[in-house]
Chains A and B, each alone.
Chain A
Amino acid sequence: MFQIRIHGRGGQGVVTAAEMLSVAAFIEGHHAQAFPSFGSERTGAPVVAYCRIDDREIRLREPILEPDAIIIQDPTLLNQVDVFGGLRREGFVLINTSRTFEALGLGEFAAQFPPRHVCTVPATEIALKLIGRPLPNAALLGGFAAATGRITLESVSAAIREKFSGRVAEGNVAAAAESFAHVRREKEELDHAQAD
C-alpha cells in the first residue's frame, strides 16, 4: 500500500486533489481510497486530505499516520502544522514553492531522504499562468507523478478531465504537465550533478 497525505489550506483544493489522485490510480487499475480530514472547512484554515493506493481492496479507515509521500500545497504551513509527522524514511516530499529546501530552512531535514525523493515545484505560479487562479492542486499532482512515478501524467490528466470540464480542465491539465516537466528537470539536474 502506498499512502499519500496532502496538506494545504481551505480553498486550495486539497480534498479535490486527493480525490483526483484516487481517480488517477483507479484509471490505472489500482484500488484507491481518498478522504478528507473533515471539519476545518473555512477558507485559509489548515486542511489535510489522504489517499491510499493498493492492488487489493483497501479496508483501513484510520487517518494516514505514516505516509509514503507528502504533498504540501502551502509552504506557510511548515511553521504551523506538523506536516512531516510519521513520514517514512524512504518517503517522498513535494512542496509547492519557488524556493529551495535550504531557503525554506529544510536543508538538513531534506538531506535525510533519498535525494530524488524531495522535490519542489512553483505550482501556484504555474497555476496563475495557465489557469489564471492561484489553485495549485492539479499542478501538484503532475509534480507528484514525476516525483514518485506512482502514476502517469496521462492518468492525472484524465482524472482532471473527469473532475472539471472545458477551459478549467484544460488549464489544469496544462499546469499538471508543466509541473511534471519541472520536477523531471529537477531530477535530471540532480542526476547530472551526481554524474559530475
Chain B
Amino acid sequence: MLKQIEGSRAVAEAVALCRPEVICAYPISPQTHIVEALGELVKGGELSPCEFINVESEFAAMSVAIGAAAAGARSYTATASQGLLFMAEAVYNAAGLGLPIVMTVANRAIGAPINIWNDHTDVMSQRDCGWILLFAETNQEALDLHIEAFRLAQALSLPVMVCMDGFILTHAYERVDMPSQEQVDAFLPPFDPRQVLDPERPVSMGAMVGPEAFMEVRYLEHVRQMRALELIPGWAEQFRDAFGRDSGGLMHAYRTEDAETIVVALGSVLGTIKDTVDEMRAKGDRIGVLGITCFRPWPANAVRDALAGAKRIVVVEKSIAVGLGGIVSANVRTSFAGHADTVHTVVAGLGGRAITRQSLAGVFASAAAGTLPPLTFLDLDHGLVERALARERETRHSGPVAEGLLRDVGLVAAKIS
C-alpha cells in the first residue's frame, strides 16, 4: 500500500510487521520517532503480543535485547550516535553470543563537539563488532531492509544493524510502499532461534572461554558472517519476486557499464550522487556509482567485479578515521585490482554539512582530470581552518577550538548549507 509518511514511521510499521516480541529502547535523536511510533503500536494493541520496555540507558537497551533474545524472543532496538557508543560493550556481546537481534541505527555524528546531525561516524566505530551492517539509500529501502534483516539474523544467529541516515531519511516524508502482513509473514518464517534459555533443557550462554577455544568461537563468527554473502543475493531476488522491487542485496550499481570513474558510497547520499552522475553522463562523462548496501560482511568479490573496468574510484564517505583518512575507502582498496593511488577518498557531510550536486560534480571532474588528491574534505572552509591555525601559532592559550571557530563564523546557531 502506497503511503506518504515519515521515514521513522515507515520503519516502525515495517518492524511491527516482523512481529517482534520484545522492543526495548532509550530515546536519542534522530532515532526517537521510530521507537515512539512502535510504543504507540504496542500500546494500541496493533502490535501484539509484544512487550515494549523503557530502559534507563542504551547499555540497558542492548542488555535487555540480549536477555530477551536469549530467552527466545524476537528482539528489536534502535539507537544513534552517543547511544551506540554507550552500548558498545553489549553490542560486541550480542555478536559474540550469536543472538539474532535487529537494531536500527539512525546515523548521527559523534561528539565532541556535540552535534545532532547526520554522518556515519557512529556506525563506523562499530564496523568490526561482529554485526551484519546494512545501509539504506531511501526510506523504502530502510523499511525493506528491516524485513530482510530479521530473516538474516535468525538464519545465521547473528545480530543485524540497519543503518539509515539520521534526519535526512528518518525525518523525511516520502512515498513508500508498505507491504501487507501476509506478504511479510510469507517472506519471514516464524522465529526459531538456534539457542534458547529453557529450564527444561538447561544450557550456559556466555560461558568463559580460554585460549583453548576462543579463537574457534571467533572463527565461527567470521564464517557465519561470510555465509551472509552467499545468502543475501538470493534473498534479494526472492524479495523482488515477493514484493516487486529491488531492495537490499549486497550492492547496487548505477550506470557503471563502460564507466571510467566509479563513485562508491553508502546510504542516502547515493540519490544526490545518481543525479550528479546523470548530469555528467549527459555531458559525455563516463561515470557511474556503486552503492554498498552490505558493508559487513564486506562483499569483496562482488565489489572487485563491479569495479574491474574502472580507471579510477572516488569513495564519498561520511566518516573519517582520524590519523588515516577514509574508512570505506580502506575497504574498497582491498577490492580494487588497480593501483591504490587511483582510489580517492572524499570525506563529506560530517556533522550534517550539506552535500550538493555542485560540489560532487567538482570533485568527480577533478578525479577525471587527474587532479584530485588522495584525500579531500568536501567543501572544507579553508579560511576558517587557517584562522584557527594562525590563532594557535600566535598564542599558546588559544582556547577551545570549537568556540573559536564558531566565533569566526559569526553565529552560534548551526548553518546547513
Contact = CB atoms under 8 A, between A and B. Distances in A.
Contacts of B354: 62-63
Given A61-B168, A65-B356, A22 B414 contact: no
B413 A22 contact: no
A22 B174 contact: yes
Interface string B258-271: 00000000001111
A32 B413 contact: no
A63 B349 CA distance: 12
B271 A26 contact: no
Contacts of B173: 18-19, 22-23, 32-35
A33 B176 CA distance: 11
A98 interface: no
Contacts of B252: none
A104 interface: no
Nearest to B166: A38
B336 interface: no
Contacts, number: 80
Contacts of B414: 39-40
Nearest to B273: A59
Contacts of B30: 38
Chain B: interface size category: 20 to 34
B165 to A, nearest CB: 8
B174 A59 contact: no
B417 A63 contact: yes
B331 interface: no
B4 interface: yes
Contacts of A65: 356, 417
A190 interface: no
A19 B175 contact: no
A26 B168 contact: no
Contact of A39 (B175, B272, B416, B417): B416
B4 A22 contact: yes
Given A22-B174, A31-B175, A38-B116, A60 B275 contact: yes
B167 A32 contact: no
B168 A59 contact: no
Interface string B354-366: 1111000000000
Nearest to B139: A33
Given A35-B167, A35-B168, A59 B175 contact: no
B357 A26 contact: no
Given A59-B272, A63-B417, A35 B172 contact: yes
B174 A58 contact: yes
B171 interface: yes
Given A40-B413, A40-B414, A35 B175 contact: no
Chain A: interface size category: 20 to 34
A48 B413 CA distance: 13
A36 B167 contact: yes
Interface in A53-71: 58-63, 65
A106 interface: no
Which among A15, A33, A40 has the greatest number of chain B C-beta atoms within 10 A? A33
Given A31-B175, A35-B173, A59 B417 contact: no
A18 B41 CA distance: 25
B352 interface: yes
A60 B277 CA distance: 12
Contacts of B168: 35, 61
Contacts of B275: 59-60
A36 B171 contact: yes
Contact of B172 (A27, A33, A39, A46): A33
Contacts of A111: none
B6 interface: yes
B298 interface: no
Contacts of B138: 59
B274 interface: yes
A61 B356 CA distance: 8
Contacts of A128: none
Nearest to B172: A35
B135 interface: no
A34 B2 CA distance: 16
Contacts of A45: 413
Given A23-B4, A60-B275, A38 B171 contact: yes
Given A38-B117, A39-B414, A40-B413, A62 B355 contact: yes
Nearest 8 CB-CB pairings of A with B = A59-B271, A26-B4, A34-B173, A35-B172, A38-B167, A62-B356, A22-B173, A39-B414
Interface of B: 2, 4, 6, 30, 116-117, 138, 167-168, 171-175, 268-272, 274-275, 352, 354-357, 413-414, 416-417
30 contacts: A15-B171, A22-B174, A23-B173, A26-B175, A27-B4, A32-B174, A33-B172, A34-B172, A36-B167, A37-B416, A38-B30, A38-B117, A38-B167, A38-B352, A39-B116, A40-B414, A46-B413, A58-B174, A58-B271, A59-B138, A59-B274, A60-B275, A61-B269, A61-B271, A61-B272, A62-B272, A62-B354, A62-B355, A62-B417, A63-B416
Given A61-B268, A61-B272, A62-B356, 14 more contacts: A27-B4, A31-B174, A32-B175, A35-B167, A35-B168, A36-B171, A37-B416, A38-B116, A38-B171, A39-B117, A45-B413, A46-B413, A59-B275, A62-B354
